[in-house]
């Protein structure tokens, strides 16, 4: 069974640490990205999420948000699923949506990636 809690590293060498997942699926942690909108040095940013309780027949789905702290006026939402391969390696697959603040409604078209 896949366990979300722990330290995770992605293909961009960003790090995510998830604390223990509560019985109701809530979790929190920190995300340290190596990729920033401004190109500057990133700091650990808080994340909050929820995991769907896994069934015996499948792997759990989850979602979390990251509020980029101190270096960006943006928020990212992630949704994904956790898998374990035949060798016992856990893998998270996710899709993300980043929303950056813009100065006006006319600029809204360029605010989401």
With helix as H, strand as E and coil as C, how does 40-73 read?
CCCCCEEEEEEECCCCCCCCCEEEEEEECCCCCC
Domain boundaries, the chain: 6-110
How far apart are alpha carbons 75 and 65 in whole angstroms?
A: 7
Residue 37 exposed, middle or buried by CB count within 10 Å (0-12, 13-18, 19+): middle
Task: For residue 48, give Cα distances in angstroms to 30, 41, 56, 63.
Answer: 9, 22, 25, 9
pLDDT for the residue numbered 54: 66
* Residues in a beta bridge with 9: 15
For the chain, 113 residues long, give each residue's pLDDT as a single digit of tens.
788 899 999 888 889 999 989 989 999 999 988 766 556 666 789 999 999 876 665 688 999 999 987 767 889 999 999 988 889 899 999 999 999 889 999 999 999 98
pLDDT of the residue at 2: 81
Whole-angstrom distance, CA of residue 49 vs CA of residue 1: 19
The CATH number corresponding to 6-110 among 1.10.3130.10, 2.40.128.30, 3.50.50.60, 3.40.50.300 equals 2.40.128.30
**pLDDT for residue 74:** 85
Whole-number pLDDT of residue 94: 94
* Whole-number pLDDT of residue 107: 94
Output the pLDDT for position 93.
93
Coil, strand or helix: which one is 20? coil
Cα 12 versus chain centre, distance: 13
């Amino acid at each position: 069974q896949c366990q979300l809690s722990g330290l995770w590293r992605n293909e961009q060498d960003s790090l995510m640490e998830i604390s223990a997942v509560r019985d109701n699926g809530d979790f929190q942690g920190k995300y340290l990205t190596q990729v920033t909108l401004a190109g500057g040095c990133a700091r650990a940013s808080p994340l909050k999420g929820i995991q769907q309780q896994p069934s015996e027949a499948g792997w759990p789905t989850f979602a979390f948000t990251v509020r980029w702290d101190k270096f960006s006026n943006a928020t990212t939402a992630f949704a994904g699923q956790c898998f374990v391969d035949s060798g016992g390696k856990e893998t998270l697959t996710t899709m993300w949506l980043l929303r950056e603040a813009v100065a006006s409604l006319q600029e809204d078209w360029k605010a989401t990636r």
